[in-house]
Amino acid sequence: MDLCRFHYCFSGIIFFSGIVFPVMVASIGVNYGQIANNLPLPENVVPLVKSIGATKVKLYDADPRVLQAFANTGVEFIVGLGNDLLGKMKDVDKAQTWVKTNVQAYLPATKISSIFVGNEVLTFNDTTLTGCLVPAMQSVHTALVNLGLDKQVSVTTAHSLAILETSYPPSSGAFRRDLTSCITPILNFHAKTGSPFLINAYPYFAYKASPKQVSLDFVLFQQNQGIIDPSTNLHYDNMLFAQIDAVYAALAALGYKKLPVHISETGWPSKGDEDEAGATPDNAKKYNGNLMKLMSQKKGTPMKPDSDLNIYVFAMFNENMKPGPTSERNYGLFKPDGTPVYSLGIALSNSTFSNTTSFGGSSGSSDTPASSQGSSSTGYLTISSANTKRYPLVGPVSFFFMFMIKLLLIS
């Protein structure tokens, strides 16, 4: 089922310079990673998810504890099938067993609307893994059809923005030529099944690479002059929307103008190493808070003004066991004890988080369906570690390089 069909909102309060305004915030998605040894039990995460108005959650696995904890909450889930399982999933029987155990067992109490098969597979430069991707997606979809679930659960995969060869101006967005033969079958699959195209986009990395040239206001959704696409005359006042439209342009160039694009990951770290410019609580607050404010306006991008913004913020928690630079362990909206890392400027609901929370609890209730074939959280290390190339802008005419030139001229 196309995720675009679900649109929720909640009454919240946004604070501007001490003045309080009630608003309706559009559907917010959040990534729930678990590479940590100090996270709260899933049942204690439910009120935290609701406190930020999130109605959609993306898991990097199909953790039975999480799926059971969110039963009858109305929260919509995307569950992940890790890269390490793609080879097995080419077998329809194995795919059907996985779907029965990790999806069907929780329906309809837990709302599972999509399965993303693999994460950033095409940019791993692993031909064997790439060769398994489409067959695995097809097998999982066939399994859903066999089980009568294909109308409510879609199949997709998530990509790094590094699949783009050209991204400036946005209207000239194009996929890497060496990946076209791999991408086209995926797009055919999306067109036939009606599933969305997922992309992980991080303006933070453009700023981190060249903080003296890239406008911080431009990447944080703050007031700025922005840029104009010379081909379309469309005005862009933030980098994320320009990135999204570059993806739309790349899809259109291959003949897939109608495919919906969802942002499966985007975020900003609140802490980093000395060489990680901009990784501060204040910048993270501005990025995520302003992003949610934009979503509340229910406006699309300049190229797709009538398309809904389906965006999943990365991430729910700081994860203390993630490899890589300090920033990788500090993308969370919440600390493991349930307290906010920073204020988003959105009033929290009356839901409270117990001060006596148990941490790292791995035991589920006795009636939790048994997990099998790698549905546990360990798969997240495979598909979302710092080694997966989360480069926001790529290509011989890289997006951030061109933005540096433009922004230097107007600053």
* Active site positions, annotated: 120, 265
CA distance 47 to 28: 15
> For residues 173 and 253, is the Cβ–Cβ distance under 8 A?
yes
Cα separations (Å) of 79 from 58, 226, 285, 364? 6, 36, 27, 18
What 8-state DSSP symbol labels residue 408?
Answer: H
Neighbouring CB atoms inside 10 A of 9's CB total 16
Determine if the peptide bond prior to 315 is cis (ω within 30°).
Answer: yes
CA distance 367 to 213: 56
CA distance 93 to 88: 10
Length of the chain (residues): 411
What number of CA atoms fall less than 13 Å from residue 332's CA on the CB side? 26
3-class DSSP state of 244: helix
What number of CA atoms fall less than 13 Å from residue 254's CA on the CB side? 24
Tokens 């500090």, located at residue? 330
Q: What is the DSSP string of 330-352?
A: ---SB-TTS-BSS--SB---S--
CA distance 231 to 380: 40
CA distance 182 to 197: 14
CA distance 171 to 243: 10
Dihedral of alpha carbons 3, 241, 160, 163, sign? positive
Task: Indicate the angle between helix axes 92-102 and 127-146, nearest 10 degrees.
Answer: 70
Q: Name 158's bridge partners.
A: 119, 198
DSSP-derived pairing of the beta strands 54-59 and 164-166: unpaired
Task: Indicate the angle between helix axes 399-410 and 239-253, nearest 10 degrees.
Answer: 130
